[in-house]
């Protein structure tokens, strides 16, 4: 097959800029879009660099060449096929950054199985909703991570595991789930071990012509579901295709000038597009080495990995870079090998960007902007952009994408004016899984309405200035306040509650909740937070809780969250950080 990775990865020097004083830009189209599947994408890089180091998991002491990694992938794919999993079925993965996660990413793609990313911070309510929403037939789960006991939560949701044979689960609360594949060596009733699935994949009866299976797949078929908070209610399952994620990775790599000589440190989570697309698939696009410092982010482990592996690139959300720069041992590490990387996931403080360039040697660091629903990147600064543009904007539009900034009537605004950013092109998701209503609200005539307020300058550089919707981004995690509000409404003492974001120097934003208690009742801030712990993800637990008798409302009865936010900023003495 053609070399889909390196074909035309030279940076296009003529990005289009707005015309006629309207905030509309179209990316370059000189470079043809790839029509490869994820499996073909991997095959191409393995053919080019079979003996080069591909994957390093330092915490797990795993180091694979591209050929070795592909063998692991094919073995797991055969094992999953032996279980009877087939194209179009959903397999969830609930794990921190481990070798098995990346193997599963490609093994499922080999078979056309749709990988469902489960946030490692999810608790019972969120896990149950996610598995049932998309009908996961199988789940790969770590034993635990930090304070979360994954297998314990699964046993609580599906007590039938204690009595069933592995692979024969029939659970009342998880009716679609049949296989639970646990990581680690210990045995758990009702669950298969990951090693056992690999063993099945090596048996002669499991032999499968994976290339023939792959030849029956289309790059326009769904391959991944990622849950994302949106405008209303529960998280939504953004459904992405091979075509979506492969091409996005190619153009991210192009903007970074990545090659097989690069070594990318990936401390961001794999369950997120940042890890699996901007991290893993960017390396597959170029043959670069992927280096994982640990299962979760730790600033010291990240600095150690960069120095020990002589990494040339480093990814992270702003809070990660802030933690690395502020670590007491920061000055002890030789980071001179660094050149580039991506800072994304939440607004990037300008001063942090300047320090990353000056103190971490990342003179070619880039900023990305996008959302899960657009695979994820729509705008990115390039390594050749002037420094002031790289630290104060999110760059220019990616190839083969069209972006417009519109007013409330949907008309493009003038250059420099503020409006909602909308994206159209190959990267827009297929839709929200089993949710045509909310899909049609978000994608109108092919345009993904992001809910973000932005401006475009005359050269096509974009600046994100706020959000139409009230979604909160805390350290790269998207939080929809209504979801937290609906949970808090289950507290027996709460009459009414409004949740919103306030600025935070470390995380970008933190959650605040204004609570009206039922008549005659009393509670403390800590009691409200304690009610949340272990039941919703830690990052959704409000940091600030204020008890009030009434909420500021419009004449039509809508809560005025901007008023609450302003009050909290004044009372707490919070500072809004200038960002790109």
pLDDT in tens, 128-138: 999 999 999 99
State the average pLDDT for the chain.
92
Which pLDDT value is given to residue 19? Answer: 85
Residue 230 has pLDDT above 90, yes or no: no
CB atoms closer than 10 angstroms to residue 105: 23
Q: Quick check: 307 and 327 in contact, CB under 8 A?
A: no
- pLDDT band at 554, cuts 50/70/90? low
Ramachandran quadrant class, 170 (left: phi over 0; alpha: psi -120 to 50; beta: rest): beta
Q: Quick check: 499 and 542 in contact, CB under 8 A?
A: yes
Residue 553 is encoded by which pair of tokens?
């409302």
Cα 311 versus chain centre, distance? 22
Taking alpha carbons only, the member of 297, 303, 300, 333 closest to residue 317 is 297
Mean pLDDT of 219-228: 96
Whether omega before 546 lies within 30 degrees of 0, making that bond cis, reads no
- 384 φ/ψ angles, rounded to the nearest 5 degrees: -100, 0
Longest dimension (CA), the chain: 72
Which pLDDT value is given to residue 345? Answer: 83
Which pLDDT value is given to residue 457? Answer: 96
CB contact burial 42-52 (16+ within 10 A = b; e otherwise):
bbbbbeebeeb
What's the pLDDT tens digit per position in 136-166? 999 999 999 999 999 999 999 999 999 999 9
Which pLDDT value is given to residue 135? Answer: 98
- pLDDT band at 177, cuts 50/70/90? very high
Lowest average pLDDT, out of 49-63, 150-164, 537-551, 553-567, goes to: 553-567
Which pLDDT value is given to residue 391? Answer: 82
What's the pLDDT tens digit per position in 12-49? 344 579 988 999 999 999 999 999 999 999 999 999 99
What's the pLDDT tens digit per position in 247-261? 999 999 999 999 999
Cα(516)–Cα(422) distance, rounded to whole angstroms?
37
What's the pLDDT tens digit per position in 341-374? 999 987 777 888 989 999 999 999 999 999 999 9
Distances (CA, A) of 380 to 6, 284, 290, 361, 395: 19, 19, 21, 19, 5
Q: What angle do CA 425, 279, 331 make, to 5 degrees?
A: 135
Which three-class secondary structure state does DSSP give residue 560?
coil
Residue 497 has pLDDT above 80, yes or no: yes
What's the pLDDT tens digit per position in 457-490? 999 999 988 777 777 889 988 787 878 988 998 9
Which pLDDT value is given to residue 5? Answer: 39
pTM: 0.86
**Rg for the chain, CA atoms, rounded:** 23
Q: Quick check: 324 and 299 in contact, CB under 8 A?
A: yes
What's the pLDDT tens digit per position in 198-221? 999 999 887 899 999 999 999 999
Distances (CA, A) of 127 to 153, 174, 269, 475: 9, 10, 17, 21
Residue 558 has pLDDT above 70, yes or no: no
Cα(27)–Cα(192) distance, rounded to whole angstroms?
47
Which pLDDT value is given to residue 10? Answer: 36
What's the pLDDT tens digit per position in 502-544? 999 999 999 999 999 988 999 999 999 999 999 999 999 999 9
What's the pLDDT tens digit per position in 376-432? 999 999 998 988 898 889 999 999 999 999 998 999 999 999 899 999 999 999 999
Which pLDDT value is given to residue 4? Answer: 39
Residue 155 is encoded by which pair of tokens?
């046993």
Which pLDDT value is given to residue 11? Answer: 38
């Amino acid at each position: 097959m053609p070399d889909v990775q390196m074909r035309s990865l030279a940076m296009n020097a003529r990005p289009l800029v707005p015309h006629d004083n309207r905030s509309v830009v179209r990316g370059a189209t000189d470079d043809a879009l790839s029509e490869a599947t994820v499996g073909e994408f991997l095959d191409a890089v393995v053919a080019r660099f079979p003996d080069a180091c591909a994957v390093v998991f330092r915490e797990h002491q795993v180091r694979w060449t591209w050929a070795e990694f592909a063998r692991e992938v094919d073995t797991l794919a055969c094992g999953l096929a032996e279980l009877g999993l087939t194209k179009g079925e959903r397999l969830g993965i609930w794990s921190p950054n481990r070798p098995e996660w990346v193997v599963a990413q490609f093994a499922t793609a080999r078979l056309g199985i749709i990988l469902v990313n489960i946030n490692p911070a999810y608790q019972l309510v969120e896990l149950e909703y996610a598995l049932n929403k998309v009908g996961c037939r199988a789940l790969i789960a770590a034993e635990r991570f930090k304070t979360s006991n994954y297998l314990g939560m699964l046993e609580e949701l599906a007590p039938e595991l204690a009595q069933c044979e592995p692979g024969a689960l029939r659970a009342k609360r998880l009716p679609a789930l049949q296989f639970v594949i646990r990581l680690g060596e210990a045995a758990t009733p009702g669950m298969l071990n990951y090693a056992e699935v690999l063993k099945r994949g090596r048996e002669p009866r499991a032999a499968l012509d994976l290339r023939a299976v792959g030849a029956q797949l289309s790059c326009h078929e769904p391959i991944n579901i990622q849950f994302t908070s949106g405008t209303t209610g529960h998280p939504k399952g953004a459904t992405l295709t091979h075509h979506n994620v492969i091409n996005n990775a190619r153009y991210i790599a192009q903007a970074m000038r990545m090659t097989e000589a690069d070594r990318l440190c990936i401390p961001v989570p794999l369950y997120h597009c940042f890890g699996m697309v901007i991290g893993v698939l960017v390396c597959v696009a170029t043959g670069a080495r992927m280096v994982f410092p640990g299962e979760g982010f730790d600033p010291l482990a990240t600095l150690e990995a960069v120095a020990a592996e002589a990494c040339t690139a480093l990814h992270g959300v702003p809070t990660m870079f802030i933690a690395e720069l502020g670590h007491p041992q920061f000055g002890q590490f030789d980071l001179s090998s660094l050149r580039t990387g991506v800072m994304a996931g939440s607004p990037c403080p300008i001063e942090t960007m300047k320090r990353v360039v000056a103190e971490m040697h990342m003179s070619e660091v880039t900023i990305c902007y996008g959302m899960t629903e657009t695979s994820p990147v729509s705008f990115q600064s390039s390594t050749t952009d002037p420094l002031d543009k790289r630290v104060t904007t999110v760059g220019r539009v990616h190839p083969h994408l069209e972006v417009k900034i519109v007013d409330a009537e949907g008309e493009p605004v003038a250059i420099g004016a503020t409006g909602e950013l909308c994206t159209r092109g190959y990267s827009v998701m297929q839709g929200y899984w089993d949710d045509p209503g909310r899909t049609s609200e978000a994608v109108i005539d092919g345009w993904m309405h992001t809910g973000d307020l932005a401006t475009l300058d005359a050269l096509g550089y974009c600046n994100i200035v706020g959000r139409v919707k009230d979604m909160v981004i805390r350290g790269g995690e998207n939080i929809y306040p209504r979801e937290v509000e609906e949970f808090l409404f289950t507290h027996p003492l709460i009459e009414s509650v409004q949740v919103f974001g306030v600025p935070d120097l470390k995380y970008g934003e933190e959650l605040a909740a204004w609570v009206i208690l039922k008549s005659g009742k009393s509670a403390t801030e800590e009691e409200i937070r304690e009610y949340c712990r272990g039941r919703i993800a830690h990052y959704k637990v409000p940091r600030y809780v204020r008890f009030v008798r009434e909420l500021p409302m419009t004449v039509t009865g809508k809560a005025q969250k901007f008023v609450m936010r302003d009050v909290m900023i004044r009372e707490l003495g919070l500072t809004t950080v200038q960002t790109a």
